[in-house]
Amino acid sequence: MIALHGGGRAMASIADFEALDIRVGTVVEAEPFPEARKPAIKLRIDFGGTLGVKRSSAQITKYYRPEALLGRQVLAVVNFPPRQIGKFLSEVLTLGVPDDEGAVVLLRPDRAVPDGGRLF
């Protein structure tokens, strides 16, 4: 349960955090997604093991080009329901944070780690 706390901010419990399955994976394919309403890139991310390769759409075109994303490790929520984006089914939510202008900067480990590793 998420409760509102001082100033209307939501406070999450440790159980809320534990419910998220955030994993590291390696981008194995990336291509422009011109059909998306906002500029985006289609990603195929290998999470290894039983998760395998999953698809994601990410609005990351300001700082990233598809070819430069190949081999890059990223973090993603892997237990949200798939989301239909036009004709593309996004299976995981690739994580990033906005810069000063609102452009997304991807989250990634600062050292190579095994694909499928869970954030905790």
Among residues 66, 51, 29, 31, which one has the least CA distance to residue 114? 51
- Percent of the chain predicted with pLDDT > 90: 80
Q: What is the pTM of this model?
A: 0.89
pLDDT in tens, 21-57: 999 999 999 999 988 888 899 999 999 999 999 999 9
Tell me if 7 sits within 8 A of 57, measured CB to CB. Answer: no
What pLDDT does residue 3 have?
52
Domain ranges of the chain: 21-106
- CATH of 21-106 among 3.40.50.300, 3.30.70.100, 2.40.50.140, 1.10.220.70: 2.40.50.140
How are strands ordered across the β-sheet holding 41-46?
53-58, 41-46, 22-32, 73-77, 93-94
